[in-house]
A and B are shown apart, each in its own frame.
Chain A
Amino acid sequence: MDIFLQQLINGLVQGSVYALVALGYTMVYGILGLINFAHGEVVMVGAMVALTALQALLAAAFAPVLAVLFSLMLAVAACMALGYGIERIAYRPLRNAPRLAPLITAIGVSIVLQNLAMMIWGREYHAFPLPFNNGLHEMGGAIITDVQIVIVLVALVMMAGLMGVVHRTRMGRAMRAVAENPSAAALMGVDINRVISATFMLGSALAAVAGLMVSANYGIVHYYMGFMLGLKAFTAAVLGGIGNLRGAMLGGVLLGLIESLGAGYIGDLSGGFLGSHYQDVFAFFVLIAVLVLRPSGLLGERVAERA
């Protein structure tokens, strides 16, 4: 029982991170119909900037809480600028180009960011300094850390905040309008370019927060961390139904749970034939199965073929 609970907790924590990153993918997809392949690298840049800032601030004997908050703000600002820049440079000029052109520039941006990060921060794994004592709590035989609790709480707050922005503000309304029908929104006086920029910045801000979270949770930062994380988050977004915010959250949490429960039980399920290395296989199998049964993802709109 405690293994189950432990895997559940781990899955929930991992899933919260996936959900935050998946939101970035899904927002961009909802508005532009574009897979922003570079989004994972934005997470990585967020983690790296936070790392550097935190190291500097701690060295300057800042109070730990302030240091963490400042570096988070710095990371968010840096990522928002980065997200804005990526859209301006790599996507906006291609808005009316063939569908796959922006996909290739996205891949290009991803490669550039990865290698820039490698030049700046090096190839090695960096330990992420935790200025607090990461306390352990026992819950019914399972262990949860302070950092994990904070991750889940912050993720919840961010998601609630995002829903608030999207559903209660003028900009959010404009976003939904552009997602529905860009040309009609433009006719109604919505500045599409501003809305798209805002979407990228919002998604990148979430990515920065997610970057800090994973780094704190695993205590490690690496220039390559964004790639797999981005891939998983994109998978989560599709699982939930891409373009759908609630779907991204649900997909993220589900993918986290599937992975961690899969890793914990796949050995038993397969009679010891498959080990926990197959955790990713398990996740992708579930994805394929879900999509075969529900072609538009779990919460995706069933787009009836219109004649």
Chain B
Amino acid sequence: MTQPNDMLLNLAGVCKHFGGLAALSGVSLHIKRGEIYGLIGPNGAGKTTLFNVITGLYQLDEGTFNFDGSDYACCKPHVLAQAGIARTFQNIRLFANMSALENVMVGRHLRTRSGIWGALTRNRAARVEEQAIEERAHELLRYVGIHRPSNTLAKNLSYGEQRRLEIARALATEPKLLALDEPAAGMNATETESLKELMKKIRASGITVLLIEHDVKLIMGLCDRVAVLDYGKKIAEGVPEQVRNDAAVIAAYLGTDSPRPHAGEGQGVRVSE
């Protein structure tokens, strides 16, 4: 396959097994620079597994993994972060007992370099760098819309703020690809709406976004392209309009997950509106 320059992430034939269970079998994904790419699928479809493969938490068993022109199969998470993939976690994994500011500052770790010597002597370079880290962290907190005192402990932030803080922390690593694992989970309609704005803002700043979501409405209204996983296979890919009317997708959803009573609030899965 040719690799046009506008491709940021290329996965081909990715397989991942857990014991005898094939969580992913032959999944291929192509994410273009500057798009918001949605990944949906019923529970257990392998979305999070794929996500973990992309961010290095799992090592793929078969297939190729090309990011920004280089091969990154079987790399550790910090290598992928270095390469420019940053992520958030489905069940929020902040550094709970560090302040909001410190959380973001940790994100700057890999783009900064002062070591023991700098820490001990506090020489000019180290001081300048430390100041830059702090300034950037403040900036990012404002950017994602956290307006609390920056020394508030992460765990004392509201739920929505914690989700945003995770995004700020990820942005601090200067990613090319920002991978968000169900960022809207548990959010109310207003919060979801402002999250949507945030993601558009992030894309506008030139960062590609990969989005896993249960909230199909959010995905459809936001993503440029969408892929649908089911039983570890990609069953559809394309612009939202196209995917929404795909017979296989409708079957996958209606076969496993019936609409929930309060689906009208934007939760739950509705294939057509």
Contact = CB atoms under 8 A, between A and B. Distances in A.
B253 interface: no
A109 B246 CA distance: 66
Contacts of B57: 305, 307
B56 to A, nearest CB: 11
Interface string B80-122: 0000000001100100000000000000000000000000000
Interface in A114-159: none
A307 B48 CA distance: 8
A304 B48 CA distance: 13
Contacts of A305: 57
B174 interface: no
A164 to B, nearest CB: 29
B161 interface: no
Q: What is the predominant secondary structure among interface residues of chain A facing chain B?
A: loop
B212 to A, nearest CB: 11
Contacts of B51: 307
Contacts of A307: 48, 51-52, 55, 57, 89-90, 93, 181
B52 to A, nearest CB: 5
B169 to A, nearest CB: 15
A230 to B, nearest CB: 32
Contacts of B93: 307
A307 B51 CA distance: 9
A27 B181 CA distance: 36
A218 to B, nearest CB: 45
B226 to A, nearest CB: 22
Nearest to B55: A307
A100 to B, nearest CB: 14
A307 B52 CA distance: 7
Interface string B177-211: 00001000000000000000000000000000000
B248 to A, nearest CB: 27
A305 B77 CA distance: 12
Interface in A274-307: 304-305, 307
A307 B93 CA distance: 8
A272 B218 CA distance: 73
A263 to B, nearest CB: 39
Interface in B58-91: 89-90
Interface in B1-55: 18, 48, 51-52, 55
Contacts of A304: 18
B261 to A, nearest CB: 23
Interface string B152-185: 0000000000000000000000000000010000
A304 B17 CA distance: 13
Nearest to A98: B97
Nearest to A304: B18
Nearest to B52: A307
Nearest to B97: A98
A284 to B, nearest CB: 29
B87 to A, nearest CB: 8
A307 B58 CA distance: 10
8 contacts: A305-B57, A307-B48, A307-B51, A307-B52, A307-B55, A307-B89, A307-B93, A307-B181
Can you list the 9 inter-chain pairs with the closest CB atoms, starting with the nearest?
A307-B52, A307-B57, A307-B89, A305-B57, A307-B48, A307-B90, A307-B181, A307-B51, A304-B18
Interface of A: 304-305, 307
Given A307-B48, A307-B57, A307-B181, 8 more contacts: A304-B18, A305-B57, A307-B51, A307-B52, A307-B55, A307-B89, A307-B90, A307-B93
